Protein backbone atom coordinates (compact mmCIF):
# COMPACT_ATOMS: atom_id res chain seq x y z
CA UNK A 1 0.00 0.00 0.00
CA UNK A 2 1.19 3.45 -0.79
CA UNK A 3 0.92 6.38 1.52
CA UNK A 4 -2.12 7.61 -0.43
CA UNK A 5 -4.11 4.44 0.29
CA UNK A 6 -7.42 5.09 2.03
CA UNK A 7 -7.57 4.50 5.77
CA UNK A 8 -8.98 1.16 6.84
CA UNK A 9 -12.10 1.57 8.97
CA UNK A 10 -14.75 -0.97 9.83
CA UNK A 11 -17.29 -1.80 12.46
CA UNK A 12 -18.64 -5.08 13.72
CA UNK A 13 -22.09 -5.48 15.25
CA UNK A 14 -21.55 -7.32 18.53
CA UNK A 15 -25.09 -7.15 19.96
CA UNK A 16 -28.20 -5.84 18.29
CA UNK A 17 -31.07 -4.25 20.16
CA UNK A 18 -32.67 -0.89 20.74
CA UNK A 19 -29.13 0.19 21.55
CA UNK A 20 -26.73 -1.57 19.19
CA UNK A 21 -23.23 -2.43 20.40
CA UNK A 22 -20.42 -2.24 17.84
CA UNK A 23 -16.67 -2.64 17.87
CA UNK A 24 -15.09 0.08 15.72
CA UNK A 25 -11.75 -0.73 14.07
CA UNK A 26 -9.47 1.97 12.73
CA UNK A 27 -5.94 1.95 11.34
CA UNK A 28 -3.16 3.00 13.71
CA UNK A 29 -1.60 6.39 12.98
CA UNK A 30 1.89 4.94 12.61
CA UNK A 31 0.59 1.95 10.61
CA UNK A 32 3.23 2.17 7.85
CA UNK A 33 6.13 1.99 10.30
CA UNK A 34 4.76 -0.76 12.55
CA UNK A 35 6.43 -4.15 12.57
CA UNK A 36 5.52 -7.35 14.30
CA UNK A 37 7.54 -7.73 17.49
CA UNK A 38 9.55 -10.95 18.00
CA UNK A 39 7.40 -12.39 20.80
CA UNK A 40 4.11 -10.92 19.61
CA UNK A 41 1.29 -13.13 18.37
CA UNK A 42 -0.47 -12.35 15.11
CA UNK A 43 -3.58 -11.40 17.11
CA UNK A 44 -1.62 -8.94 19.28
CA UNK A 45 0.02 -7.44 16.19
CA UNK A 46 -3.32 -6.96 14.43
CA UNK A 47 -4.76 -5.33 17.58
CA UNK A 48 -1.95 -2.76 17.41
CA UNK A 49 -2.37 -2.22 13.66
CA UNK A 50 -6.15 -1.88 13.91
CA UNK A 51 -7.03 -0.54 17.37
CA UNK A 52 -10.65 -0.97 18.38
CA UNK A 53 -13.18 0.61 20.70
CA UNK A 54 -16.74 -0.14 21.72
CA UNK A 55 -19.41 2.22 20.36
CA UNK A 56 -23.15 2.43 20.95
CA UNK A 57 -25.84 3.52 18.53
CA UNK A 58 -29.61 3.75 18.81
CA UNK A 59 -32.30 5.22 16.55
CA UNK A 60 -32.16 8.99 16.69
CA UNK A 61 -28.43 9.20 17.44
CA UNK A 62 -26.69 11.73 15.22
CA UNK A 63 -23.52 9.66 15.53
CA UNK A 64 -22.40 6.61 17.51
CA UNK A 65 -21.21 7.21 21.06
CA UNK A 66 -18.03 5.64 22.39
CA UNK A 67 -17.98 4.45 25.98
CA UNK A 68 -15.68 7.31 26.97
CA UNK A 69 -18.47 9.76 26.02
CA UNK A 70 -20.27 8.67 29.19
CA UNK A 71 -17.22 8.84 31.50
CA UNK A 72 -17.64 12.44 32.67
CA UNK A 73 -21.04 13.15 34.21
CA UNK A 74 -22.06 9.51 33.77
CA UNK A 75 -25.34 9.69 35.75
CA UNK A 76 -26.55 12.67 33.69
CA UNK A 77 -25.48 11.42 30.26
CA UNK A 78 -26.53 7.80 30.73
CA UNK A 79 -29.89 8.64 32.32
CA UNK A 80 -30.62 10.89 29.31
CA UNK A 81 -29.53 8.12 26.92
CA UNK A 82 -31.90 5.56 28.48
CA UNK A 83 -34.64 8.10 29.31
CA UNK A 84 -37.31 6.08 27.46
CA UNK A 85 -37.08 3.60 30.35
CA UNK A 86 -38.03 5.90 33.22
CA UNK A 87 -37.27 3.36 36.00
CA UNK A 88 -33.82 2.59 34.62
CA UNK A 89 -33.05 6.27 34.00
CA UNK A 90 -34.00 7.08 37.61
CA UNK A 91 -31.72 4.32 38.97
CA UNK A 92 -28.79 5.69 36.97
CA UNK A 93 -29.54 9.35 37.80
CA UNK A 94 -29.87 8.53 41.52
CA UNK A 95 -26.58 6.59 41.45
CA UNK A 96 -28.17 3.45 42.83
CA UNK A 97 -25.82 0.60 43.64
CA UNK A 98 -24.98 -1.35 40.47
CA UNK A 99 -25.94 1.48 38.10
CA UNK A 100 -22.58 3.24 37.72
CA UNK A 101 -20.07 3.56 34.90
CA UNK A 102 -18.43 0.22 35.70
CA UNK A 103 -21.74 -1.49 34.89
CA UNK A 104 -22.47 0.32 31.65
CA UNK A 105 -22.84 -2.86 29.61
CA UNK A 106 -25.30 -4.31 32.14
CA UNK A 107 -27.30 -1.05 31.98
CA UNK A 108 -27.41 -1.32 28.17
CA UNK A 109 -28.51 -4.98 28.44
CA UNK A 110 -31.28 -4.05 30.89
CA UNK A 111 -32.44 -1.25 28.59
CA UNK A 112 -32.44 -3.59 25.58
CA UNK A 113 -34.38 -6.28 27.49
CA UNK A 114 -37.28 -3.90 28.19
CA UNK A 115 -37.45 -1.75 25.04
CA UNK A 116 -39.50 -2.04 21.89
CA UNK A 117 -37.36 -1.74 18.72
CA UNK A 118 -38.35 1.09 16.40
For the segment 55-112, what is each residue's pLDDT rounded down to a tens digit?
999 988 888 999 999 999 999 999 999 999 999 999 999 999 999 999 999 999 999 9
The predicted structure's pLDDT at residue 85: 96
For the segment 1-40, what is each residue's pLDDT rounded down to a tens digit?
344 445 556 788 899 999 999 998 888 888 889 999 999 9
**Cβ(57)–Cβ(24) below 8 Å:** no
The Cα 47–Cα 61 span in angstroms is 28
Would you list the domain boundaries of the chain?
Answer: 10-114
The predicted structure's pLDDT at residue 32: 86
The predicted structure's pLDDT at residue 43: 92
The predicted structure's pLDDT at residue 1: 39
The Cα 85–Cα 81 span in angstroms is 9
The Cα 116–Cα 97 span in angstroms is 26
Amino acid sequence: MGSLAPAVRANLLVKGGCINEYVWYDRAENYAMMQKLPNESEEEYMARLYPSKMVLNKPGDEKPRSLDYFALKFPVKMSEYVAENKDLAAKVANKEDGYGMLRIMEIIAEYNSTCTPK
